Each structure stands twice: as structure tokens, then as C-alpha cells.
Amino acid sequence: MEIIQQILNGISVGSIYALIALGYTMVYGIIKLINFAHGDVFMLGAFIGFYAITQFQMNFFVALIFSMAITALIGVLIERIAYKRLRNATRIAALITAIGVSLLIEYGFIYIRGAQPEAYPDVFGRQSVSLFGATIDMKAVLILSVSVILMLLLQFIVHKTKTGKAMRAVSHDTEAAKLMGINVDNTISATFAIGSALAGAAGVIFGLYYTKIDPLMGVIPGLKAFVAAVLGGIGIIPGAMVGGLILGLVETFVSAIGFSLWRDAAAFIILILILIFRPSGIFGKNSREKV
């Protein structure tokens, strides 16, 4: 029954990628920007959760909410300071700025606290549960549960709330949304806040799952989450979820069959294949652009 265990592990890892990918895809859907600083917000979320648990003695769930709140604020600050003035600039200018913000966060954080890694506290111990003859780590079950709850909450926000309707309107047509009285600036800030909060949550559960965190930990998961967003269809929220889960399952099974050194490469092989054969992603549709 090892396959059940591997599937659950893959879904748990994939749900972390999906949470990060949602931030990429939401921001791209609104302002057509690939926010490469998003992986570093994920890293900050992991450290905020770490210090909340170790220094302020918060329990895991309080630390998770605290980390989401702080990273949401960080996301809004990044948007207001770095990206707001570049909305009418060229795509390359915004992309270079995003890379610059990413490097600033990484090495600014290293300058403040140093580059040494930290070991995440084992708040739940070595608990496990049996399922169809397979022994499942409770951490994997917890990560999956938290991820599913957050994804369902996101779907509720996007489809049932006034903010979510404004986000969809701005994504469809910014100028028409302005004419309808929607505050586009606040809507974009809300998008960054929600995406960053999800990245912060992903950072906390990543630390719980992998136990080791460091200031450069956001680089590879951030790139993999970008791959997941492209795989599902950049700008499409369900696509980011599905892309993350697929990527997690592929990585887990690549490791399980003895090619653990290739697990990182698998993500980028998928990216190359999707760009060659279906550049719009699984859920994306090819659309003609007027010139």
C-alpha cells in the first residue's frame, strides 16, 4: 500500500505549490505581471510562523493566521511601493522590478538576521494514522486539510464577495471596471494581499513538513509554483490548484522510483513540454490579440 502513501505525500507537496501558484496567477490575471518576489513572500511567511511559534509561544494555527496577516500586509506594501507606478510601463520594466524586489527581500533579510538555516519546531510530533494498510504521517493530513480549506475560502471570496466580483471585473476589463465605479487601486491591493496571505500560509506548512527553512528557500519553490501556474493556465485560479497538485504528484513519484536527484528537473521538463505543446496551459484558451 505504499502507493497510497506516495499519492498523499504528492498531494501534500502539490498543495503547497498550489497555494503559492495562486498568488502568481491572481496577480497575473489582474495586472498581467509575473511577481517573482512572490517566492520570497513565501519565505517570509515561513520565518514569521517560525518566530511566532518559538519566540511568542503561539500554537500552530494562531501562528498560521498571524503569518498570513503579516504577509498580506507585506504584499500590499510591495505592490504600492514597487509596482503601482509601473502599471503603464513596459512588461520588461515590471519584470526587472519584480526580480529586483525579490533580490532585495532575500539579501535584505540575510543582512538583518544572517544566512543560517533554522529548524522548524516539531509541534505535532510523530503521529500517524493507518489508511488502507498504509501508514500516513499526520503532518501530511494536516497540510492537505489546511490547503483545501484555504482554497475553498479563496473560491468563496472570488465568487461570492463584493471584493471577488471587483477582482473578476478588473481582470476582465480594467477601464470598464473604472467606469462602473470600482476602485481599481484597492482591488489590485486586495489581490496582492490575498495572494501573499496564501503564500505565507504555504511557508508555514512547508516549514512544518520539511523542518528546515533558510532565507533563500523561496527560490526553487517559487519557480516550481510558477511552473504550476503555467501548467494549469496562468491567470486561471482552478488551473493553479490543479497544476500544483500535478506537479507535486510528479515530483513524488519521480523520487519514489529512484530518481530523487531529478525531482527538481522534472518541474522544468514539464514547463518546457507545456510551452511547446500547450502554451495556454491545461485550462487556458488560445485567444487572438488585436494589434
Domain residue ranges of the chain, discontinuous segments joined by +: 2-218
Q: Tell me how far apart the alpha carbons of residues 169 and 146 are, in angstroms, rounded to a whole number.
A: 29
Number of H helices, E strands in the chain: 11, 4
What is the pTM for the complete model shown? 0.91
**Which amino acid is it at 46?**
A
pLDDT per residue of the chain (291 residues) written in tens, 0 to 9: 678 788 888 888 999 999 999 999 999 988 888 899 999 999 999 999 999 999 999 999 999 999 999 999 999 999 999 999 888 888 889 889 999 999 999 999 999 999 999 999 887 767 777 766 667 777 888 888 999 999 999 999 999 999 999 999 999 888 999 988 999 999 999 999 999 999 999 999 999 988 899 999 999 999 999 999 999 988 888 899 999 999 999 999 998 888 888 888 888 898 899 889 888 888 877 655 544
In which element (H, E) is residue 130 found?
strand 128-131
Q: Tell me how far apart the alpha carbons of residues 150 and 153 are, in angstroms, rounded to a whole number.
A: 5
Q: Radius of gyration of the chain from Cα atoms?
A: 19
Q: Are 267 and 247 in contact (CB under 8 A)?
A: yes
Residue 268, all three cell numbers: 522544468
Bridge partners (DSSP) of residue 257 are none
Q: Are 20 and 42 in contact (CB under 8 A)?
A: yes
Query: Cα–Cα distances in Å, from 290 out to 84, 153, 279, 280?
Result: 26, 36, 19, 17
Residue 5, all three cell numbers: 502513501
What is the phi/psi pair of residue 215, to 5°?
Answer: -65, -15
Place of cell 491591493: 189
